[in-house]
Each structure stands twice: as structure tokens, then as C-alpha cells.
Amino acid sequence: MTTSTNQYQKPLTVKRNSDGNLEIGGCDAVELVEKFGTPLYVLDEKTIRSVCLDYKKSFEKYPNTQIMYASKALCTCALASILQEEGLGFDVVSGGEIYTVYKAGVDMRKVLFNGNNKSVDELNLALELGVGRISVDNFYELALLNTLAQGQDKTVDILLRITPGIECHTHQYIQTGHLDSKFGFDLIQIDEAVDLILNEYTNLKLHGLHAHIGSQIFETRIYKDEIDILCKEIARLDEKFGLKLDEINIGGGLGVKYIDSDVPPSTFEIGQVIIDKLNECVEKYNIDSPKIFLEPGRSIISTSGVTLYTIGSSKQVPNGKKYVSVDGGMADNPRPSLYQAEYYAEIANNKETTEKEEVTISGRFCESGDILINNIELPKIDEGDILCVYNTGAYNYSMASNYNKVCKPAMVLVNDSCADLIVKRESLEDLVVHDVIPDRLK
């Protein structure tokens, strides 16, 4: 099996330099902390571009493929600019993500707007900025979108998002393709939706079907099942309605290696599985080869990112754990609290001692559940040490909050020994800029 970037646990450029400090993208982690502070999100540009290349190579045998980055994993203007350079499109799920990729100069024809409860303002924004595809999730949205399109005298290119009835083995909160899901049309509803599009909603043009089965997926069989369902539906709709659909979107979800026991398939393995099954289904159901869209998010950006923290207080429970606290936690990485997510970490500064200890890394927030890593062995820790937590590129910044009125961290992009600030650290003034005191209280 060919190895791809998503199978690594760390950014490609991570190493120890001559001072004994961790180095990422040619930048000393301790110097990054001195310049930008902590907590600090760090993205390695080389790893980002390498995994994009992996995906392109993995699907070169099926040239009618478009990789659509799932922006919910991490959405910043600088990242969008890099991914556009690499030829990727964008799967967006909010007006904020639409506006971010637009401000980054992205070709909006290569953007797909997805989501189960899009607002009127968001749909109007998508129409005004020329988003290439809207994945329609329900009957309410079909009617609403047609009305909005009429108001702007436009025909909107759409996909129908369907629920394929596939349950993958991942955390229940990130399963999306099973029957009891808030997303998409059930299979028995498709005909009614198609009939409305063909006969009533004349400002909508249907190009294909869209499905998504979950996230952090290690299985390959379920992609086969999904493709079979989508192709079978395309053939059935052609037979019943004379409708020639030429696009299928199979979503994303490929897992990454957070801890040693995680063994995700490579992008190359997934690519071969998908291409082989697609070619098989084209022949099996006697349909034209469709354009295929994929929406990787985590597997594009997760391994590229690390978070640097400064270690502060510690507590040894009598006959129990030793808790070591960092200056961040569940506000900059809520995944351990939400999903019981696990991470690997190491001390970034040089530690001359060989003495090891098992500790639990706790956050600074006022919740007992604010634990980043349970029971990890590290060199004996001192206050002021720098902790590097790996695989934090996906869903950390995206899900960050201001809980306890703490400022969100900065983010830097590193490459060839250069570190560029791409998200500024919030200030105390930022925390109150939208607060308003009514005159009657002054």
C-alpha cells in the first residue's frame, strides 16, 4: 500500500534542531512562542500541499474528479488561497465560509454550498456571489431557493443531498449517512423532489446526487456501498423521468492518525476503491460516467497543524494522577470534551533529563471535563515548558470559543524557515467590541 500524508501523525517537516528544540517548517517552536505567544496554532504549508498532491495523484486515473475541501475543518483566507493554488474547490456550510473563500479570491464556480438549514440571507449571498452548486437538503429549501432564484432572475445549479442509509463505525455525533439523520432527503422522498424540480421549480437545474456518510472513517467498504446506491439511483431516475444526471458527490470523511493505534487507509487506497467501484457501477447500471466530487477536510488539514501551549501549574493527587495544566484547553480544542478525541504530544523545548513521568494534560477552563490528554508519558515537566499537541489542524480553530472570556489564539503559517501570521490573536477589546450597554443602565 502506498503511504499518504494522512497516515502520518506529525507534519512532514517536524524534527529536532541542533538546540534540541522542535522545529516545524524550518521554524524553531520555542522562537515561535517567544514571538507570537501561546496558545498558538501552527500550520505547516509543506504538509498541506503534500496531502493535496496525494489526493490529485490518487484520482488521476479518473480525470473527471473534483476535490472539494470541506471548509468546516478549518477556514481562513490564507488557507483558501493555498488550496485554490492546488486546484481544489470548496464545500462550504455557512455564509461566513462563503464570504471567507470569496475574500480569498476563490473561483466561486468551484464552491458548493451545503447544509440542512440554510438561511435566506445565506442563500441570497450564494446566488449573488455565483456559488457553483447548492446541495439542497429538504423540501422547504427547494421551495425557498426556487423563489429566491426567481427574484434574482437566475437558474440555480443544484444537487440533491440524500441519506443513503449507511452507518459507519465512528463517533455517533459525526455519523451523517444513517437513516436517523437530520441531513438530506430519504431515498423514498427523492421522486417527489425530482418531480417538483422538473414541473414546478423551473429556476432550479438538477445535476446530480450528494451523500455524506460521516467523518474520521477508516473503513473502505462503505464508500463502495455509497457509490452503488448513488449510481443505482441515477439509473432509476433516468428510467422513470428520462433525467440524465451527470454528477455524484460522495462527501468526505477519510480519517487521520491521531494516536498510534489509528490506522487510516491512504488516499491512494481510497482512490483505487472509489475509482474501481465507480467504473463497475457505470457498467452495472448502464449509465454515463459521472463527474465525481469528494469533500475531504480533516485529511487535508489535520496533520498539517499543531498547537503550542505553555505549561503552568501541576497537581499530584495522593495515590492518583498528576495533572499538568496548560494555558489553553477546551476553548481552543473542544474535541476531547465533545468526542473523547485522543491526541499525541511532546515537549517542544530541549529537555536534557531522561527521567519520564505519566501525566494528564488539563486545560485552564472552569470545567472538570477540560482534559486535553489523559495519561501520557513525557519527560519530567517543569513550569514554562512548551507542549506541542499534534494533529490539531482540523476542527480546533473552527470550533474554538471565548468560554470564560478567554481570547482565541493566533495562527501562523510556517514554510522554509518563515513564519507568517494568518490569524491575529484576539485582544481583550475584541471580546467586548460587540457588547452594548443600554442608555437606561448608564
| Strand ranges inside 164-225, DSSP E | 185-186, 204-210
Taking CA atoms, 311 is separated from 324, 340, 362, in Å, by 7, 22, 10
Residue 177 per-residue DSSP state: S
Distance CA 114, CA 95 (A): 11
Q: Is 366 a catalytic residue?
A: yes
Distance CA 111, CA 113 (A): 7
Cell (9 digits) for 40: 498558538
Distance CA 236, CA 241 (A): 8
- Class of residue 173 by CB neighbours under 10 A (exposed 0-12, middle 13-18, buried 19+): exposed
List 309's β-bridge partners, or say none.
Answer: 387
Distance CA 334, CA 365 (A): 11
Among residues 52, 281, 366, 418, the one annotated as catalytic is 366
Distance CA 275, CA 268 (A): 10
Cell 465525481 maps to which residue? 292
How many C-beta atoms lie closer than 10 Å to residue 271's C-beta? Answer: 24
**Segment holding 421, helix H or strand E:** strand 418-423
List 210's β-bridge partners, or say none.
Answer: 161, 249
Which residues are annotated as catalytic?
366
